[in-house]
Structure 1
Amino acid sequence: MYSPPPGPPRIHILGVGNLGRLFAHALANTPNPPPITLILHRPSLLSDWESAGRSISITTHGLTNSAGVYDIEEPIHSGSGMIENLIVATKTLHTAKALEAVKHRLNAQSTVLFTQNGMGTTEEVTRLIFPEDARRPNYLAAITSHGVYSEGPFRSVFAGQAHVSVGLVSGSSAKSRYLLDQIVAAKLLNATEFESRELRLLQLEKLVINAMINPLTVVYNCRNGELLKRSDIMSVMRDLLAEASQVVSSLPELRTREDGGNDVAERFSNENLKAKVLDVAEKTAANTSSMLQDFRAGRETEVGYINGYISKRGKELGINVGNNERIVEMVQKRKVVEDE
């Protein structure tokens, strides 16, 4: 039987892009930091780590901080030591494959925190990686509103300080308490814990906002703020929003016996969602969306887990989601609207 090593429980981090670096750095710079292991899931990351001086550098307001102690592992050399706490910060589309490499080190005593954009990842991981209830880890999710961009391997700029919403998705909150407490205690993250249903609603709000802004910046090849300046783009957004509003308001898992889901219908009404989308687009007007950055770099985007999730759930409910289906197809097939 596995016995955890003495001392504070270790936190492993899988995915060392901007979010993985931010979480690692924030946890490593608390007054009593937990032991942290970075799992380098690509062989090239080892040389990048050496080149970066075996440190993570986060720049805030022009000041760079490289403090923090980290251990590193490569999945192929990681042995059989169990992982008690794992933060997954890979892109949604790489999550299942990344977890496949370490699934033998996770069990029902483990906690996995998912930090990605989009939705549907936990369901996919359950189906593909942990189909057996008895071996499935406890799942947490974090919604991150911070603005972080890369300056190279293991170097990021913390450009827009906002907040993190975190909470239990499934499993035992008692077994997940240590990781939850560590996330909330890391002041740089500015994290607040929410109960499961409210966390789900917050995830869906962010999903809808991303589904309106990200793919349209790709299809029209523009910054966030430019979406608001063209009536043709706003017309497309209205059609996408109408479908998203209907889908989320109809989700059966959000209904409660007390109100029958009326709170959801109001919160996700067309008017309320439109106000939230326009507010974010205005506040991030000068930004290039992460999806457009991926698109321009020739990388696969996460549209399948954003508008694709809306389409999937809509079809399950018999709702017409043709506009969201089309926008997914356009992004995936790299179809852009040329300037007028």
Structure 2
Amino acid sequence: MLGWKRSSPSPSASPSFSSKYRSVYKSRHGDQRKMKLEHVSVTPKAITGDDNSHIDQLLVAGPGHDAVEALQSVKHRIDKDTTVCLMTDGLGVLEEVRQRIFRGTESRPSFLLGHMSHRLAFNRGQDSVRELRFGETRLTFGDFGRDVEKTETRMNFVKTLQGVKDLNSSLTPLDKWLHFKLPSVILDSVVEPVCVLLEIPYGGLLRNPAAQRMMHRLLAEIVSVVDAMPELEGSAAIRDFIRGNRIKQLIYSRIMARRSVSTVELERQIQNGLPTDVDYLNGFFIRRGHELGVQLPTNMMMRDMIKAKHSLAIEKLNSYVPVEETSVPSHLSFRYRTLPASHRGKLM
């Protein structure tokens, strides 16, 4: 969590540290806000270990595919009095968590869904976090507000997050929260898979009509699913977003912003054999489309192609034979190579 305190706007003001998070702070010099990083020494500690203490409030962030494993490791410390905030990438993570971890259990926790537009960077060398762009954090009830009995515990968690001023948190209805998160989900479901499939950077999409037609088909299928979701029926915010040219203009602006980036994140994950979130992007809309009777053939093909490339990349990585260098460099041979016995006496 970020916990720095804002310093005064005067040019000569010194950085203001949070008493709890000393690895992150900001200072202002003139009209430009600059960030500084301070090294923090933290002893690695397992998330579970022998700790069986109860967890009242838990925030799970990061890729969607990591959420189940993270919650499974602390399941014994969670019960009906726990509130879990899922601030993960993609959509459909909550449904998987309930299905795989808390299905049929009476001690299942209550859930919040979160999403932030802050742009952060982690410095692995210094164990520090840097905020590249200030944004906002929006929260919504995971059960769409139907579980009235657990409203108080969830509101306590919301107030806790709102107490961290730099998070700029607010509680919103589901449709407005989804309107806030959909742009990033659609970008990752429509743009990145096409880049990976055609092996072109973001800028290449602007010069490739076939790639643009593929993106339009992916987008049209996703929009048809969102438009049919019963929990969003009657939402003016969603209707205005998915209809007309606003969503296409958004995708175009995001591509333009990344046109100088040579590496697509999804391609990097596949090449290194890392897990992807395709099941929480295109896969989420495919599952909802199946429930609603909406066909998504292009998204199904794209999901299967991404998984196929991922499998091939893992096979290729596993086929490499590790080689250990044991030969001695020529300029060091005099230190390690012994002379024949017949020559040793001559040097004595």
TM-score with structure 2 setting the length: 0.72
For the 8 Å contact 2:64–2:280, the answer to whether it is kept is yes
Q: Residue type of the partner of 1:245?
A: V
Deviations 1:111-161 (A, max 9, x none): 111111111110111111112463121211221223334432634443333
> How many pairs does the alignment contain?
289
Equivalent in 141, 145, 169 of residue 168 of structure 1: 141
2:203 aligned with 1:228: no
Q: Residue type of the partner of 2:116?
A: T
Gaps of 5+ in 1: 1-23, 37-54, 336-340
Question: In the TM superposition, what is the alpha-carbon distance from 1:91 to its structure 2 partner?
Answer: 2.0
Matched residue, 1:116: 88
Matched residue, 2:194: 216
Matched residue, 1:239: 217
2:241 aligned with 1:267: yes
Matched residue, 1:77: 49
Partners in 1 of 2:156 and 2:20 — Cα distance?
13
For the 8 Å contact 1:58–1:156, the answer to whether it is kept is no
Q: Any idea what SS the aligned residue of 2:120 has?
A: strand
Q: 1:78 to 1:282 in 2, by over 3 A?
A: farther
Equivalent in 87, 104, 110 of residue 59 of structure 2: 87
Question: In the TM superposition, what is the alpha-carbon distance from 1:65 to its structure 2 partner?
Answer: 4.0
Matched residue, 1:299: 274
Deviations 1:277-304 (A, max 9, x none): 2222223433455423322332121111
State the superposition RMSD in angstroms: 3.3
Deviations 1:308-327 (A, max 9, x none): 11111112222221111111
Matched residue, 1:202: 180
For the 8 Å contact 1:167–1:180, the answer to whether it is kept is no
Partners in 1 of 2:110 and 2:4 — Cα distance?
23
Partners in 1 of 2:201 and 2:25 — Cα distance?
25
Partners in 2 of 1:180 and 1:293 — Cα distance?
35
Partners in 2 of 1:301 and 1:234 — Cα distance?
23
Partners in 2 of 1:296 and 1:102 — Cα distance?
31
Q: Any idea what SS the aligned residue of 1:334 has?
A: helix
Partners in 1 of 2:92 and 2:180 — Cα distance?
14
Partners in 2 of 1:159 and 1:286 — Cα distance?
18
Q: Any idea what SS the aligned residue of 1:333 has?
A: helix
Report which structure shows greater RCO (CA 8 Å, sep ≥6). Answer: 1
Gaps of 5+ in 2: 7-15, 27-32, 311-348
Q: Any idea what SS the aligned residue of 2:84 has?
A: strand
Question: In the TM superposition, what is the alpha-carbon distance from 1:34 to its structure 2 partner?
Answer: 10
Partners in 1 of 2:121 and 2:240 — Cα distance?
35
Q: 1:84 to 1:222 in 2, by over 3 A?
A: farther
Question: In the TM superposition, what is the alpha-carbon distance from 1:99 to its structure 2 partner?
Answer: 0.8
Question: In the TM superposition, what is the alpha-carbon distance from 1:238 to its structure 2 partner?
Answer: 0.5
For the 8 Å contact 2:38–2:128, the answer to whether it is kept is no
Equivalent in 141, 145, 149 of residue 113 of structure 2: 141
Partners in 2 of 1:225 and 1:173 — Cα distance?
46
Partners in 2 of 1:315 and 1:108 — Cα distance?
31
For the 8 Å contact 2:118–2:134, the answer to whether it is kept is yes
Q: Residue type of the partner of 1:27?
A: G
Matched residue, 2:74: 102
Q: Any idea what SS the aligned residue of 2:309 has?
A: coil
Identity of aligned residues (%): 20
Question: In the TM superposition, what is the alpha-carbon distance from 1:275 to its structure 2 partner?
Answer: 1.9
Q: Any idea what SS the aligned residue of 1:27 has?
A: coil
Q: 1:300 to 1:182 in 2, by over 3 A?
A: same
Partners in 1 of 2:258 and 2:281 — Cα distance?
19
2:223 aligned with 1:250: no
Deviations 1:83-111 (A, max 9, x none): 11111124211211221111111112111
2:176 aligned with 1:191: no
Q: 1:251 to 1:271 in 2, by over 3 A?
A: same
For the 8 Å contact 1:149–1:158, the answer to whether it is kept is yes
Question: In the TM superposition, what is the alpha-carbon distance from 1:243 to its structure 2 partner?
Answer: 0.4
Matched residue, 1:6: none
Partners in 1 of 2:276 and 2:5 — Cα distance?
32
Partners in 2 of 1:178 and 1:66 — Cα distance?
32
Equivalence map 1:282-293=2 (5 Å): 282-287=256-261, 288-293=263-268
Q: 1:32 to 1:61 in 2, by over 3 A?
A: closer
Q: Which has the larger radius of gyration?
A: 2
For the 8 Å contact 1:184–1:193, the answer to whether it is kept is no
Q: Any idea what SS the aligned residue of 1:240 has?
A: helix
